[in-house]
Structure 1
């Protein structure tokens, strides 16, 4: 086990280095840089541009350096805890992200809890009571959730929340609490606004999880070991939870690699529609303006969470399913 963990960690290091190079390369692929985008915006507004000032900023930001030198400076800064400087916000990346990360984590964590709490009992019931009325209702809700665009559902819930509950449209809190320190009133305001993005973002994930859990569990319940367990006198509940459900959960444990970055990134399109102060819209804006250090550092952080999530999911799968072995090779 320890050898497996050490080997995986050693593999993670070159993987992250390769990912960092790919991220930095892709961000640099579009022609020009942030300053050229900035100059184009100023000219479009009819403002004068001082070439000497632009050249000074290019040298100050290191944009006149060769590609590999810029990449090396960025990677060394990441290893030292320096995420770089945001050109657009004129602040270090760590300060730009600020509370956006915590709000994104709050929304995504609440969404994950909502998804699992709703999907697991419905998925298990739908599989155990196949072709019953409840199964048909769950299947209908699942297909409806998969077919409904998130942004459309967001607009509908915004209208309902404002009309029937008096909730202010957009954002995660009332305007009076923006840029204010946390208090009981601010916390209540966040909870009042939180249910809309949680339901919107979690709907498609809940519907997909119900379908997958139902399909996986139905496949396991029809296998011979379940029939044998029941024939030996094991109750239906124990026969369900002891083996079939554990094996049917494998895909969800494997999804940990996707869940960790989602906790930070959130749903960008839904965040834009709902006006949420999360990191998704900030990342899109950074990519559009070629704010390479902000975008690159954020993408690198998401990649790190993905690699760590895959590592944790592999360990959890090995503990959950005894058929999975950490070492290769045939056994006699």
Structure 2
């Protein structure tokens, strides 16, 4: 296992470098750059070029007067030591912009991921062991509804429902009274009041999909010869299902967990925009639209790091869950 992990870690380095090159150059494919649009905006607003000197200072400050490859080298060498550069639009360090949104992003995304797996696995097992019964048909119907509903539509429905029934506005993570207030028990309670909505909204679609995967895999495993042998030996059905069948059927969900790791950082961008959440997803979208290259490039690299780490984590978990899997 140690040799395998070392080999995978060494392969990850050129992979991440290739991603960084591709991402950095694709971000800058549109004609012009952020400051070109800034100049156009100033000319439209003021009708002259009185502020263009300031723009040219920013061009030198951000290195936009240099060739693209030089800007890439400056950025990637800084990224390697934790210096992510400066955001054009916000005129602040990229690290500051990311860290101030990271906590809320992690809380929402991790909560929804735990919620998804905590529901999908046991419900999928129940549905498979009660195949073609009324409860199975009902769960199948609900899972199809959950997969077909867009997350932003669920978010809007919950916002309207909570406001009409409980008179609680759920836009953002805090009520207006606690915005900018110091942390305390009141602010924490207000956060928890608002937090359940994005967690549930993000989890609905994922729970429905994983439920179907778990059900299908478990039904397939339950029909295999080794399960029939275990039953013939007189083992309890619960032991056959939980100890033998589920350990095999759960493998794809472990792999999906590794692929889901980047979503912990990004969350659901559209849901965050609809609910007014201060997460990283809308920040990346705005950075891409404005060609804020250092901010966008940093966030894409963070997603890539999590994806590589997630795949490695999934391989390790698979070896732990399924004793048949070994990495030499």
Shift of 1:36: 1.2
CA–CA distance in 2 between the matches of 1:25 and 1:129? 53
Superposed CA RMSD: 1.3
> Are 1:315 and 2:299 an aligned pair?
no
Count matched residues. 327
* Residue 41 (structure 1) aligns with: 41
**In the TM superposition, what are the counterparts of 1:25-40 in structure 2 within 5 Å?**
25-40=25-40
Shift of 1:322: 2.5
Shift of 1:46: 4.4
In structure 2, the gaps of 5 or more residues are none
Deviation by residue 1:233-291 (Cα, 9 ceiling, x = unmatched): 11111111122101111111112332221111100001111111111111111111111
Q: TM-score, normalised by structure 1?
A: 0.95
Q: Is the 8 A contact 1:77 1:84 kept in 2?
A: yes
CA change 1:44–1:142 in 2 (3 A) is: farther
* Residue 276 (structure 2) aligns with: 275
Greater displacement, 123-132 / 272-281: 272-281
CA–CA distance in 2 between the matches of 1:223 and 1:266? 38
Q: Is the 8 A contact 1:167 1:192 kept in 2?
A: no
Shift of 1:225: 0.5
CA–CA distance in 1 between the matches of 2:103 and 2:47? 37
Shift of 1:43: 3.5
* Residue 239 (structure 2) aligns with: 238
CA change 1:48–1:256 in 2 (3 A) is: farther
Shift of 1:47: 5.3
CA–CA distance in 1 between the matches of 2:141 and 2:308? 35
CA–CA distance in 2 between the matches of 1:214 and 1:68? 50
Q: TM-score, normalised by structure 2?
A: 0.96
Other structure's SS at 1:177 match? coil
Q: Is the 8 A contact 2:319 2:326 kept in 1?
A: yes
Q: Is the 8 A contact 1:283 1:295 kept in 2?
A: yes
Greater displacement, 211-220 / 243-252: 243-252
* Residue 14 (structure 2) aligns with: 14
CA change 1:320–1:169 in 2 (3 A) is: closer
* Residue 284 (structure 1) aligns with: 285
* Residue 208 (structure 2) aligns with: 207
**In the TM superposition, what are the counterparts of 1:1-332 in structure 2 within 5 Å?**
1-46=1-46, 48-49=48-49, 50-327=51-328
* Residue 330 (structure 1) aligns with: none
CA–CA distance in 2 between the matches of 1:131 and 1:122? 14
CA–CA distance in 2 between the matches of 1:182 and 1:261? 28
Greater displacement, 13-22 / 50-59: 50-59
CA change 1:243–1:197 in 2 (3 A) is: same
Q: Is the 8 A contact 2:39 2:52 kept in 1?
A: no
Other structure's SS at 1:255 match? helix
Shift of 1:22: 1.1
Q: Is the 8 A contact 2:125 2:215 kept in 1?
A: yes
In structure 1, the gaps of 5 or more residues are 328-332
Other structure's SS at 1:316 match? helix
CA–CA distance in 2 between the matches of 1:58 and 1:84? 14
CA–CA distance in 2 between the matches of 1:71 and 1:186? 42
